[in-house]
Structure 1
Amino acid sequence: MNINRTLMTTVIAMTTFVTGCAIQPNSSGNASAPLVIQAQGSFAVGGAVLKAPGNYDNNKPTTAGQSFHGDHLYAFYQVPLHPKPLPIVMLHGAFQSARSWETTSDGREGFQTLFLRRGFPVYLVDQPRRGRAGNSTVAASVAPAPNDQLFFDQFRIGKWPRYFDNVQFDRKPETLDQFFRSVTPNTGPYDADVISDAMAALFTKTGPAILFTHSQGGGPGWLTAIKTPNVKAIIAFEPGSGFIFPQGELPPAMPSTAGPLAPEAVSTEDFEKLTRIPIAIYYGDNFPTEPTAERGQDNWRVRLAMARIWVDAVNKHGGDARLVHLPELGIHGNTHFIMSDLNNVQIADLVSSFLIQKKLD
């Protein structure tokens, strides 16, 4: 790795306080020892610098002659003792931040810690124009629009106000409160190229690494692998954006109650860069495979269907992609946030098995 590491070893005692209650992340049985970190830190990477014409006057400051740094991403990293060769970079989805991968809403260890315990250096990303990378070079307004119930439905916790019977989500009110408070607005327009440019710069800094993506992060994830050879595998959890196909091989757009899902075109040369790495896609439970009038349900029906076509296209071009629909494995109740559900250790085990099989562990 190319990050300058500190020589001090930090032992992290993982006791978290959530809504006034002490929560023990080790209570799930997925960890039994202190988490030992040999290095950790954070930085910004990528982005642009805008410069206003004119001369800066400290006594009469205006925008004239000043610069503005924006559209970078924020990365926080931790390196365990005796790290495995390839780090894991984790990119969040829409209305989220790096918190998606951290402590779960009910206080258990998230994928950040689970994979640190498995020996991987882990990089968590706040994408450009989100969270701790909020400086956007393009203006946008952020309004306090009520949307909690929409997210409850859209992210498949249930159909408001009822939870799905088998849902892998803790039903305590404080857990739902924590989940709603993870929602993070855009501070500028979503732009997959801006995000993937910054992600490619991050992979230049980390060197070869594995990319985990979630939801809207799926599209920028494919583009990142096109823009840098340092992406050595992609694990995509319920990709919901940017299904790219070679020019001239686009499948028809898929209509749904949530609006049409249209494929996006790239050159055959760029698309075939995705055939050089192993890719695994995971989708959860509680949505139909046939059209429905329910918006939150139909949204995921078409994304699963498009993902199947996408995997076939990658493999048709000689790639190594697979799609795992968890109910087909007998794993039920997973929400859109597979990596933080009550069975996230089981999901992490599936991912670890894939990485071992591909000799990336």
Structure 2
Amino acid sequence: MKWLYQKSFLFLFFFYFMVSCSSTKAIKEKKYLIVKEQGSFAVGGTIITNPGTFNPYKPTSEGQTFRGDHAYVFYQIPQKARKFPLVMWHGIGQFSKTWETTPDGREGYQTIFLRKNFSVYLINQPRRGNAGRSTVPAVINPIPDEQQWFDVFRVGVWPNYFEGVQFARDNETLNQYFRAMTPNIGSIDSQLNSDAIAALFHKIGPAILVTHSHSGGMGWLTAVKNQNVKAIVSYEPGSGFLFPEGEVPSALTSSAGALEASAVPMKDFLKLTQLPIVIYYGDNIPTTPSDNPGADGWRVRLQMARLWRDVVNKYGGDVTVVHLPEMGIKGNTHFPFSDLNNLVIAEVMSQWLKENGLDK
């Protein structure tokens, strides 16, 4: 595999050079994008049925139903679509906007990969965004928190940006960035969420799952539940690492708190060894303990990802953990796929798909 990584690195270096040297005009001149089919639907979820008989002339809750806890999915299928669609799942506090237009107004992964002839399915997980009809009560308190997220998402240490960060520094970009956040309508339920996305894979068939941050762990659960998940690309998974019973590592401590892994039966764990998985982490992650919790939490997440990789691969799996700065790709935040160099990041992913025969 070493020669493949060397070949990929040279290709990416050349690609990065070409993108960097292109004029703004050239970058903006895009060919027409022809979409063969697009639409949306709900998938998964539950139904609450109230006893009694509904009276349309004197309506009460008696005899009525309530559908909720489903996922909402928007999809686009290009002409000459490749075999495996990409299913893109947002992270915590986010919804499908994650994969759409970037905060600074460029094409996001949704469009970038449509141009590469992949069908793209964008998820709003249950109780989030367009899937906000929750079966549990919820209270949304407008507590100011954006400066903390600026730190946690590794744009910088508020109010300062990291040097060389791949994030535009104008006020409107930051405004769009923060307005892409949305609340949970009820508690986050990993089993319920992964059930809904497993139902999506039953509906559309074999596909590639692309997760981000909080959906990373739920992505592993989805692959355990549905073997139509043919590969996983995970950007900065932050929790939910699944280990075999009896092999769960000790919690990893950081100034952001302890990071714990979860145990699953060996028969479920082994399902994760049957598909290729790649994990990407961006820049500005400390290598030693830091008193900045926004950054230090990612130190132990990267550490846990490597521990998880080693155990999955020990049992015959195919997990690769890529720390982008080690490839020479620097400045990426917690959102590499929407950073200023997202074309380069997309090409890294494209090369991995190609090397694993997933771009047919």
Q: What TM-score results when the alignment is normalised by the length of structure 1?
A: 0.91
Write the distance in 1 (CA, Å) between the matches of 2:26 and 2:136.
Answer: 43
Unpaired stretches in structure 1, ≥5 consecutive residues:
1-25
Equivalent residue, structure 1, for 2:202: 204
1:334 aligns with 2:337: no
1:256 Cα deviation from its structure 2 partner: 1.3
**Partner SS for 1:260:** strand
Work out whether 1:286 is the aligned partner of 2:284.
yes
* Structure 1 residues 47-86: aligned runs within 5 Å: 47-86=45-84
Return 5+ residue gaps in structure 2 as ranges: 1-23
1:216 pairs with 2:222: no
2:237 to 236, 239, 253: 239
Alignment check: 8 A CA contact 1:28 1:108 kept: no
Q: Does 1:116 align with 2:114?
A: yes
Shift of 1:360: 0.4
Q: Which residue in the other structure is 1:3 paired with? A: none
Q: Which residue of structure 1 lines up, in the alignment, with residue 127 of structure 2? A: 129
Structural mapping, 1:238-277, within 5 Å? 238-277=236-275
Runs of 4+ in structure 1 over 3 Å off: none
1:158 aligns with 2:156: yes
Give the corresponding residue for 1:316: 314
Q: RMSD across aligned C-alpha pairs, in angstroms?
A: 1.1
Shift of 1:27: 5.2
Q: Which amino acid aligns with 2:125?
A: Q
Distance 2:337 2:183 in 1: 21
Q: Tell me how far 1:255 sits from its aligned partner.
A: 1.2
Deviations, residues 168-223 of structure 1 (Å, cap 9, x unaligned) = 00111000000000011000100111110000000011110000000000011000
Residue pair 1:71, 1:128 contacting (<8 A) in 2 also: yes
The aligned counterpart of 2:140 is 142
Please give the alpha-carbon distance, in whole angstroms, between the structure 1 residues aligned to 2:295 and 2:43: 37
Q: Deviations over 1:57-104 (max 9, x none)?
A: 223322221111011000000011110011000000000000000000
Q: In 2, distance between residues paired with 1:171 and 1:286?
A: 17
Report the CA distance shift for 1:242/1:249 in structure 2 as closer, same or farther (over 3 A): same
Measure, in 2, the Cα distance between the counterparts of 1:118 and 1:193.
32
Q: Does residue 188 of structure 2 align to residue 186 of structure 1?
A: no
Aligned residues of 1:30 and 1:345 also touching (Cα < 8 A): no
TM-score under structure 2 length normalisation:
0.92
The C-alpha deviation readout for 1:24-43, integer Å capped at 9, x for no partner, is: xx857276201110100000
AA aligned opposite 1:268:
M
Please give the alpha-carbon distance, in whole angstroms, between the structure 1 residues aligned to 2:97 and 2:123. Answer: 9
Q: 3-state DSSP class of the match of 2:121?
A: strand
Q: Distance in 2 between matches of 1:209 and 1:31?
A: 30
Amino acid at match of 2:292: E
Structure 1, residues 229-267: CA drift from partner, whole Å, max 9, x if none? 100000000001201100100000011111110010111
The C-alpha deviation readout for 1:322-348, integer Å capped at 9, x for no partner, is: 000011111111000111000101011
CA shift, 1:139, in A, is 1.2
